Amino acid sequence: MSERAAAISVIGVEPEALSRYFRVLGDPTRLRIIEALLVRERTVSELVELLEAPQSRVSNHLACLRWCRFVETERRGRTVVYRVADERVSRILELSASLAEPNCDHLASCTRIGPDWI
């Protein structure tokens, strides 16, 4: 078995696909949206108010999260409600936070992963 095949078999998915998965989580606004939706389902208007962000920005991030299957929607009359599609996302965020916490100052000074939103 080649080294590449061995690396893929360890994580069980192509590294490029896994990288894209984490890239979705790599945006602070999308993380805030997911965190808010882990508390309870919400409408776009509720998220706009909570995040204090323009509706267009929130909608664009929700479209990304929906396309990548992090969130799902339900239409209730004229209102669309968003919720986390898979509750296991909360475990990913909890584990990530516990890994990042002791390194936050160091991560904040990293110049190899831009932009300066960390």
| DSSP class per residue in 64-111 | HHHHTTSEEEEEETTEEEEEES-THHHHHHHHHHHHHGGGHHHHHT-S
Report the domain count for the chain: 1
In a domain, 98, yes or no: yes
In a domain, 113, yes or no: no
In a domain, 118, yes or no: no
In a domain, 115, yes or no: no
In a domain, 69, yes or no: yes
- Output the pTM of the full model: 0.81
CATH code, domain with 26: 1.10.10.10
4: pLDDT confidence band, cut at 50, 70 and 90? Answer: low
Tens-place pLDDT, residues 68-109:
999 999 999 999 999 999 999 999 999 999 988 888 887 777
- Which range marks the domain in which residue 34 is found? 3-108
In a domain, 37, yes or no: yes
